[in-house]
Amino acid sequence: MAKKIIGTFKLQLKAGQATMAPPVGPAFGQRGLSGMEFVKQFNAKTAKDVDSIIPAVVTYYSDKSFTFILKSPPTPSLITKAINIPKGSAEPNRTKVGKIKLSQIEEIAKLKMNDLNCDTMESAISMIRGTARSMGVTVED
Amino acid sequence: MLKKQFVNLHLLILEEQFDLSYSVFNLFPFVGIEERIDEIVVTFNVQDYSTELNDVIINELKNIGVEASVLSVEIIDDKNWNAEWEESLEPVIVSERVAISPTWKSSEVPQEIVVLINPKMSFGTGYHPTTRMVCTLLEKTVDFGSRWIDAGTGTGVLAILAVKLGAEHCFAFDNDEWSVENSKENILINQVENQVECSQQDVFTVELPFSDGICANLYRNLLIPNFPKFYSALKRPNGVLLVSGVLKYDVEEIITAAESEHFIHIHTEIENEWAAIHFTT
């Protein structure tokens, strides 16, 4: 018999650096799940992505087991990392904080493709361009 | 042990703006973030937080077009968050000879060697394949009277097992306060306090004693840069290095890195997506 899904929750953690400190400890503990098991798996699976924030969506079941999937880092984080700026612009329409190449946008779109609500690479690229614009980052075609 | 404290900053943010808001959170030294419905909970170490930070974050979010407000701020004392799960622990049979059991279940285990573990939020209950695999490798490699190192000891399970298998001494360490406290409790429960020495140390700075064997259930990023240190601490030839905590996808890279530091690959065990690797000097 398939085990019953009780619920899901989403955490955003630094790659390779998860510990039992909040939010991991309370999120798992209050549901009776083994947070240590998650910490071991998360850190092993994200060890190569140092300096990134990695979203993890955890699904937990009636038998106190859980599974989780790792998502790609948030798009603004990928953009700021790609062009080495600390953050987006306060006035994106008037003050530009950097330029990003189309090839970099395409790379981000490839990475984000599975997590974006779109069917084609063109629409993924379009979404990433939109995020870049909203951050005051100019796309160089 | 001084109890750590954390601050949870609860922010009201519309879900469609979550993604954008991360470019702001990245600017601050947070521990982690939990997403809820139209709410983001940002956790800080208490020493990294001050009330002024609320306005700074709200303003930074506003600057990038994210409307946010503070719902609440709560201070959280660190504790054993794993307690409920730990109460449900059952003994783990590692082999015909070895089992790992919480103290309250040990009478149910027929194995000759039983490592008693009350975990308290530390890693190493035997539930995880990496622990079980290193346990079976220890069974094959620990010689009577040998001296061992347990790097990243967690509950102390591997150090205790090494001694119960005949090692004369084990130098165990972990960088995590909880783990060191917990491993000391487990060392006492197993009555091996004269043979297992445990302290809070970082693998990058610890001075390792000269040994016959090392077990290191760590992570890839901690293992690879420390292969030279491990090699220097081992007898040559026939010193034993058992590494685990690595995914099977990383095995090739780990073996290449170890071999470039003169280790000889003997054997790899795989269970599900996890691996344990046996090297010698």
Mean per-residue pLDDT over chain B, rounded: 93
Q: What is the DSSP letter of A49?
A: G
Q: Tokens representing B238?
A: 């026939």
Q: Is the dihedral of CA B67, B70, B71, B76 positive or negative?
A: positive
Interface of A with B in 93-132 (CB under 8 A): 131
- pLDDT for res B1: 59
Structure token pair of residue A68: 């989780």
- Distance from the Cα of B236 to chain A's closest Cα (Å) equals 30
For residues A56 and A10, is the Cβ–Cβ distance under 8 A? yes
Share of chain A above pLDDT 90, in %: 52
Q: Do B31 and A21 touch (CB under 8 A)?
A: yes
- Here the tokens at position A23 are 């939010």
Work out the average pLDDT over B263-277: 96
pLDDT tens, residue by residue, A35-74: 998 999 999 999 888 778 899 999 999 988 899 999 988 8
In this structure, what token pair is assigned to residue A123? 């629409």
CA distance B85 to chain A (A): 5
In whole angstroms, give the CA distance from residue A65 to residue A20.
Answer: 17
Select the more confidently predicted residue: B26 or B17: B17
Strand-strand pairing, B240-247 and B213-217: parallel
Tens digits of per-residue pLDDT, B71-116? 999 999 998 888 888 888 889 999 999 999 999 888 889 999 999 9
Per-residue pLDDT band for B171 (boundaries 50, 70, 90) equals very high
Residue A14's φ and ψ, nearest 5 degrees, are -75, 130
pLDDT of residue A1: 59
pTM, two decimals, is 0.85
Sheet holding B113-116, edge to edge: B92-93, B98-101, B113-116
pLDDT tens digit string along A89-135? 877 888 899 999 999 999 999 988 888 877 889 989 998 998 898 88
Q: Are A14 and B32 inside 8 Å of each other by CB?
A: yes
B122-B175-B30-B20 Cα dihedral, nearest 10 degrees: -80
Confidence (pLDDT) at B2: 59
ipTM of the complex: 0.83
In one-letter notation, the amino acid at residue B123 is: F
pLDDT tens digit sequence for B23-56: 788 788 899 999 999 999 999 999 999 999 999 9
Measured over the CA atoms of residue B118, residue B123, residue B129 and residue B130, the dihedral's sign is negative
pLDDT confidence of residue B24: 85
pLDDT at A2 over 80: no
Instruction: Quote the pLDDT of residue B109.
Output: 92
Contact A40 B130 (CB under 8 A): yes
3-class DSSP assignment, residue A94: coil
Phi, then psi, of B185 in degrees rounded to 5: -65, -45
**Structure confidence by residue, pLDDT tens digits, B138-152:** 999 999 999 999 999
Residues in A 17-56 with any Cβ partner in B closer than 8 A: 18-29, 32-37, 39-40, 43-45, 47-48, 50, 53, 55
CA distance B173 to B151: 6
Asked if B41's CB is within 8 angstroms of A32's CB, the reply is: no
Cα A28 from Cα A35, distance rounded (Å) = 5
Return the structure tokens found at A77: 């984080």
Give residue B279's pLDDT: 98
Are the CB atoms for B154 and B219 separated by under 8 Å? Answer: no
